[in-house]
Amino acid sequence: MDIRGLQIFLAVTETLNFSRAALRLHISVSAVSRTIQRLEEDLGQVLLERDQRSMRLTPAGRTFREYAQRSMAAWLEVRSQMRGDAQLAGEVNLFCSVTASYSILAPVLEAFRVRQPGVEIMMHTGDQADGIERVLSGQDDVAVSSRPQYLPPKLGFLSLLQTPMVVCIPAGDCAVRRSMLSGDPASPDFDWSGIPFIVPERGVTKDMLDSWFERRRSQPRIYAQVSGHEAIVAMVGLGLGVGIAPDLVIQASGITGRVSPVTVWEPLPALDIGLCCLSSRLADPRVKSLWDVAQQTYGAAL
């Protein structure tokens, strides 16, 4: 099975789109389609279910993707050894939030570029709550994510830093701020039931907030469920409700003057933020090199 065919298949699994895979590899869409068809014929299995609207991997496709990833990693390592060249080539798909791209990854990527100039980082940004799922599904090699309470067994996690979780309220005079300051949020008897909350749609911080309210034996009045901590901070700054967000996100938001932290009874635990990837992907020397650079960058700073 030729390496080029594996490269094309992996590009399709990452983009789930023949046109985007072709654009990434600088080949025609028909060449991508023919390659996938040939692989399916050789294997006697349907690898991708596709219609006019969407594309997804079949169970056989997921199994073959793991084989393709291992094979590509082994081939790159052998090629590097035979060339007597320590420099790697290719790309690493990396997912993170916009805030993480400059607040966390900047020193890592700067050091990685010096060490591995032949490896291209394909960065995708979005809600950090999606990071683990994107890695598990094979969409990305590595993601910046908060560590969940229960880490999937096939996932590796490299802790980089911890950031406090902050309950924040609007800094300007408004009904939300007056409601919060009419009592003492640091008291276990504070009544949260009438306070409008802007909450995460999903992820570690949603689970954290749900558990916190469960211990309060109280349910918040949900004003909005949003994707991403950046949106929570922005909406709090507009006076629309109370929210929780990592201090790192608040400080990087550019609107710190529009939100105020409040002390609450039983503060929320800090977020453990780091890199995650499938443990099997660390066999890829490009992924392992990025992992090592991140560990060295933050290990030196701790």
Single out the residue of 137, 118, 146 nearest to residue 289, CA to CA. 118
Range of the domain at 207: 165-269
Q: Using 50, 70 and 90 to split pLDDT, how confident is the model at 302?
A: very low
Tally of domains within the chain: 3
- pLDDT higher than 90, residue 249: yes
Q: What burial class does residue 29 get, using C-beta atoms within 10 Å of its C-beta: 0-12 exposed, 13-18 middle, 19+ buried?
A: middle
Say if residue 40 is in the same domain as residue 104: no
- pLDDT higher than 60, residue 281: yes
Q: d(Cα 50, Cα 73) in Å, to the nearest integer?
A: 27
Q: d(Cα 285, Cα 83) in Å, to the nearest integer?
A: 15
Out of 59, 82, 105, a domain closes at 82
Say if residue 289 is in the same domain as residue 145: yes
Q: What is the CATH number of the domain that holds 224?
A: 3.40.190.10
Q: d(Cα 291, Cα 278) in Å, to the nearest integer?
A: 12
Say if residue 178 is in the same domain as residue 235: yes
Say if residue 248 is in the same domain as residue 221: yes
The model's pTM? 0.73
Are 246 and 165 in contact by the 8 Å Cβ rule? The answer is yes
Say if residue 22 is in the same domain as residue 68: yes
Strand positions, DSSP E, 205-289: 221-226, 242-246, 259-262, 271-278
- pLDDT (tens digit per residue) in 188-221: 889 888 899 999 999 999 999 999 988 888 888 9
Are 301 and 172 in contact by the 8 Å Cβ rule? The answer is no
The mean predicted confidence, pLDDT, of the chain is 89
Q: Is 146 helix (H, G, I), strand (E, B) or coil?
A: strand
Say if residue 179 is in the same domain as residue 239: yes
Say if residue 140 is in the same domain as residue 288: yes
Q: What is the per-residue pLDDT for 124?
A: 93
Say if residue 150 is in the same domain as residue 25: no
- pLDDT (tens digit per residue) in 68-104: 888 887 887 777 667 655 578 888 999 999 999 999 9
Q: Using 50, 70 and 90 to split pLDDT, how confident is the model at 301?
A: very low
What is the phi-psi region of residue 23: left when phi exceeds 0, alpha when psi lies from -120 to 50, beta otherwise?
A: alpha
Say if residue 151 is in the same domain as residue 280: yes
- pLDDT (tens digit per residue) in 110-143: 999 998 998 999 999 999 899 999 998 888 999 9
Out of 82, 99, 118, a domain closes at 82
Ranking 2-16, 177-191, 231-245 by mean pLDDT, the lowest is 2-16
Say if residue 174 is in the same domain as residue 262: yes
Q: d(Cα 190, Cα 179) in Å, to the nearest integer?
A: 11
Out of 34, 65, 82, a domain closes at 82
Say if residue 226 is in the same domain as residue 186: yes
Q: What is the CATH number of the domain that holds 5?
A: 1.10.10.10
Strand positions, DSSP E, the chain: 48-50, 55-57, 90-96, 119-125, 142-146, 155-163, 165-170, 196-200, 221-226, 242-246, 259-262, 271-278
Q: What burial class does residue 216 get, using C-beta atoms within 10 Å of its C-beta: 0-12 exposed, 13-18 middle, 19+ buried?
A: middle
Say if residue 8 is in the same domain as residue 101: no
